[in-house]
Every structure is written in C-alpha cells, then in structure tokens.
A and B are shown apart, each in its own frame.
Chain A
Amino acid sequence: MSLTFADLSNAFSELVQGSKPATLGATANLWATASFQPGAYNWPSISSAVTGATGALLTSATTGALAFPATLTGRTSGSLLLRRVALNLTSANARIVLLSDRVWHYIAVPVVGAYGLTGMADLATGLRAGLAPWLEVATALGATPGVQTLVLEHEDASTSTWTATPPATAVNAAVPFLCTSGVNRSPIKRAVSLTGTTATTGNLCVSLQAPIVAIPGSLQPLGNLLHGIALGARPLRRDACVVASVYLEGTSPLLPLSLEFAVT
C-alpha cells in the first residue's frame, strides 16, 4: 500500500494517542561523546558482537537501534514514513547527521587475506533499495589495519569490488566504501567476500545501509525541528533498524535526537 500525503496527518494522530514518539536521545551510549572520532563519520554503538560467517540481518530489535514504540512494533503490515525530526546540535562541529536503515552487518577481527565471510544469503528484494556499504571500527583496534576489500553481488548477478581504509583505530570511526571496479547501479543483494591486509586486535564492521535523510549541521549550536517531507523522507520497512551517524570536526557534540514516524 502506498503512503499518501493524507496518511501523514491521519497516522500521526494514531501515533500520538497510542505512544510517545520514538526517541534516540535517551538511548544509552548511542551518543557517548567520548567515543566520537573527529575528521570522520561515526556510526556509534549498534551491537558490536562478532557475527558468524554470514553476518547478521538487523531490525528495530537489534541492540542499539532506534527503539520503536509498541505502536509500530505491534503492526503486521504497512510502512513507516519519517514525519518529523527534532535535533539539538550542541556543537557547531557536527557537519552532518545521517539517518539510515541498517539492513545487514558483519563484524570480525581484522585478518590478513580472506575473512570468514562466506555464504551470505541473498537479501530479500524489499531490503535492497539504495544499499551502500560502510566500514566501521566496532571495537578499538590494536593497529591501523589498512585497506579492506569487499566484493558485492548485484541483482543482475554481476559483482563489484569496493575498498575502504579505517580512518582511525578508535571505536565508531567510519568511512564509506568506494567502488573500484564493476561499478553498477543494479541493487546490491549480498556480500560475497571481505579481504584484509593487516591482522590486529579489535573488531571491524562492514554494513549495508540505506540512507533515510541527511541533516546538515549548522553555524551555531541550535535546535532544529525538521519536517520529514521537507527532508525528502521515503517510506521505510516497518521494522527498520534506524541508526544515526555524525560527521564530526573537532570536539564531540551531544546530539539529542527525536524522530516521529507516520504509519499506515
């Protein structure tokens, strides 16, 4: 069922009567200032547990994901639409805040050569739209692990090769993978392999994420109340694993963030 403009007001009424808006700011350790890395993107504090060979599919029930209220989790059909974002930027060092639906990730100890990422099943068709790969430091690394090479398979059965180098050894530092060969706009359906260049302690995380909205930082610390439609928000899966990232310069900000969703 497609969302309509009228759904926004109708569904919002239901949402405020049935539950409080979902809140990120109250989630423990999601915005822990000490672990933000300047000069890099930061995807903080989703579950950092080492995964098995196929990685893990993620939902709103994943540790660290935006905790949806029962109004949303109790539904068995329909979609979500980000209706409103309340964001309090306490520092001008926040360059941009990205909200994404984190669909899948794989976490492992850095190795030389092939990681144990094998046998990942094809993602369901409905999960593939707009996915892009990210590399993050899931737990602090003992040394800079160098370039990581990821091979992805697309819907059209072609493969593409992507590389990324962790921007720091500290937890949360993240960088998008860049495609070096097999550039293809066919949707990504699975990760085929991951190869490293340095063995060290700690954990790296490779994830596939679909952007929801990007909220630019500002000149001064201030509070923003933004309309999801103005931001171009699109319908989401009902049990989306919504996570937030910040690109940071300088000292870490506190970023209390609250989201409201319309549902159909």
Chain B
Amino acid sequence: MPLASLDEIVSANKVPVLFGKTAGLPTVAANTWTSYFAATGFGTSAPANLTLATAADGAKPNGTTPGAMWLIEPPTPTYKWQLLSATMHANVLGMALIYDRVWHGGSYTPVSGAYSFTETPDMTEYGGLGYTLFVEVATAISAAAHTLTIVLRHNDGSTSTNTVVINASSPVGRMIPVPIVSTAPRDIKNIVSISGSASPPTGTFNLVLARPIFSFAVVAATAAVLADMVVTGMQIVEPDACLAVAFFNPTGTTAPLITGALVFAEGAP
C-alpha cells in the first residue's frame, strides 16, 4: 500500500542493505567517475572484472547479479520500495553515486563504423524516466581517443544522435556520462545503434543505463554521511534493482574504501 503516514513508514521498514566495497578497489582517475561494480562487498561475489558477456541487445541485471548490492529481502510483486535512510563512510573526499543499473551491454571492442549491436528492448523501469547513460571502461583504452555515436530513441518515438569521447588511455573503471543532445525529450526509451570513429584504440568498454538513486557528498576524508527520509527524498527503487556504486574523486587518485547501508520501506505504488 502507499505509505501515507509516519506510522506506516515505521511498520514498513525493511532490513538494512549493507554495502561495503573493501577489497578489489578500482583504479581511480582524478575528476572522473569510477565504477565500483567489480569491487568486493556484501552478498553476491563480485565479478572478476568489468568485462561483460551480454547478448547483442545487452541485459537487464538485477539484485542477484554479481557486483550488485545484495538486496537482502525478496522482491514483492505488488509494491515498490522507497529509500528511507542512507548512511555511508568513505576515507576519501568526493561524491558517491548509488544508482540502479537498469541495463548494461558489452563488452565492446572499439571499431570504426557500425558496432555489432542489436536495438535494445524498451526500458520501462521507473516509468521509463530519469536514466543517465554512461560509458564504462572494461579494459584499459590504448593511447588514442575514440568517439562513439549513439542513437537513442525517446518515449515519444523520436530519435537523437549523440556523441561521447572515450579519452585516450582511459583506465579500467572510468565512467563517462553521455550527453544527450535532444532538448525535448531527454528521456531514453531504448538504444538503437552505436558506431565508432576511425582508427579505433584497443581496449573494451560497456554501456550502462543508470537510474541515479542517491548521491553521498563526502565533504572531507572520513566524513560520515547520514541521510534521513527527508534528505533521501524517499526515492522509489525497483525491488529487483541492480544497485551499484560509482565514486567521483575531485582531488586525487586514491580509491576510497566505502561502507554504508541503505534502508528501504515497502509501499510505493
């Protein structure tokens, strides 16, 4: 049922979802987002690396996918979850993004021209709204930049052609947001096609469609973050979400050790 009162929130609390990324930490490049998807935490074993083996149209991971935060209670068929509180500690200043990995595809080897890629299914999670598309470097890119051209379809049926540059020598784990050129609409219904610039580098990358859930601002190294239901905005989270962490280090290249917990209440329609 929808959570309409504090009483209902108290009764609807679920067991906290612990997340800790304490081993297998990624290499961090300053002033970029870095994926923690392959770092070791709680629940499911972390993947050996960021290399994906998805179908031609990618895959929709979930809470049991290796690398995801372990959503400890079963998903329910009727109601969604809402983020009630969030706590986190990181020993490096920066920003940690908790996001639902709604879809991912890869790993792709850079090519000149059209990629071997099949148009993805429609994205219906979260009402098809609020996604950010990232390039995630799976194996290090050699000393040449690569420009991707990505055709996206929007919920009104229109398409847009968007470009993003994977910088030369991008390290494993670098996450690069893809700017969307369409001014209206800016939502993403699915990914239609990918093509690459000439003289492609070696290395591999993934595409990740992320639904941001919460951002932890770590204002100083080892500063704690504690957000209650007002601060979290009680964001709706799909109960089968593939929750993951990315970190932005604005001052150096140290990968922080991250520990924390998310508490959900069940009841969003």
Chain A residues with a Cβ under 8 A of chain B: 2-8, 81, 92, 95-96, 98, 129-132, 163, 176, 178-180, 183-187, 210-219, 226-227, 229-235, 247, 249
Contact = CB atoms under 8 A, between A and B. Distances in A.
Given A130-B72, A219-B221, A211 B16 contact: yes
B16 A219 contact: no
A214 B13 contact: no
Interface stretch (B51-59, B84-92, B136-144, B150-158): B84-92
A65 B169 CA distance: 52
Contacts of B15: 129-130, 210-211, 234
Contacts, number: 147
Contact of A233 (B13, B45, B222, B223): B13
Contacts of B201: none
Interface centre among B15, B223, B225, by most chain A C-beta atoms within 10 angstroms, is B15
Given A5-B7, A187-B74, A92 B87 contact: no
B42 A176 contact: yes
Given A129-B15, A185-B73, A219 B44 contact: no
Closest CB pairs A-B (n = 7): A130-B15, A232-B263, A214-B261, A216-B224, A232-B85, A234-B13, A216-B89
Given A4-B7, A234-B16, 4 more contacts: A5-B9, A216-B225, A235-B10, A249-B257
Interface of B: 5-7, 9-11, 13-16, 18, 20, 22, 40, 42-46, 63-64, 66, 70-75, 84-85, 87-89, 91, 220-226, 228-229, 257, 259-261, 263
B243 to A, nearest CB: 13
Given A219-B222, A226-B226, A247 B22 contact: yes
Contact of A5 (B10, B84, B222): B10
Contacts of B11: 2-4, 235
B16 A214 contact: yes
A185 B44 contact: no
A12 to B, nearest CB: 14
A214 B69 CA distance: 15
A100 B105 CA distance: 37
B73 A6 contact: no
A218 B226 CA distance: 10
Given A5-B6, A5-B7, A95-B89, A214 B64 contact: no
